[in-house]
């Protein structure tokens, strides 16, 4: 006996490479999350679990004017458990 074709798509199947949410909405949601306190809480939870958390800090070198902020690990930024 052959296999049943119930539930199988016989047409074109999406590759899933395009979003169905507009770019402006996605950018607004991301900006809102990054500015909220939820991000800091999530970073702290991850750090306490022992994950490698990256944080953004002001650049300590004032001569690098093209890089006002740098991304470093939380350990380098001075976080303690």
Q: What is the pLDDT of residues 22-66, one digit of tens each?
A: 999 999 999 999 999 999 999 999 999 999 999 999 999 999 999
Total domain count for the chain?
Answer: 1
Please check whether residue 81 lies inside any domain of the structure. no
Residue 41 in any domain: the answer is yes
3-class secondary-structure state, position 17: coil
Pair 71, 56: CB distance under 8 Å: yes
49 assigned to some structural domain: yes
Helix (H) or strand (E) holding 36: none
pLDDT tops 70 at residue 12: yes
Judge whether 12 lies within some domain: no
pLDDT-based confidence at residue 9 (cuts at 50, 70, 90): low
In a domain, 16, yes or no: no
DSSP conformational letter for 3:
P
Examine the pLDDT at 68 and tell me if it is beyond 80: yes
Q: Report yes or no on 48 lying in a domain.
A: yes
Structural domain that includes position 42? 23-73
68 lies in some domain:
yes
């Amino acid at each position: 006996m052959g296999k049943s074709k119930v539930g199988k798509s016989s047409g074109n199947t999406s590759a899933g490479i395009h979003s169905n949410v507009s770019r402006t909405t996605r950018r607004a949601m991301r900006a809102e999350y990054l500015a909220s306190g939820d991000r800091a809480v999530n970073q702290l939870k991850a750090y306490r679990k022992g994950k490698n958390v990256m944080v953004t800090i002001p650049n300590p070198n004032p001569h690098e004017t093209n890089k006002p902020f740098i991304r470093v690990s939380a350990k380098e930024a001075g976080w303690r458990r």
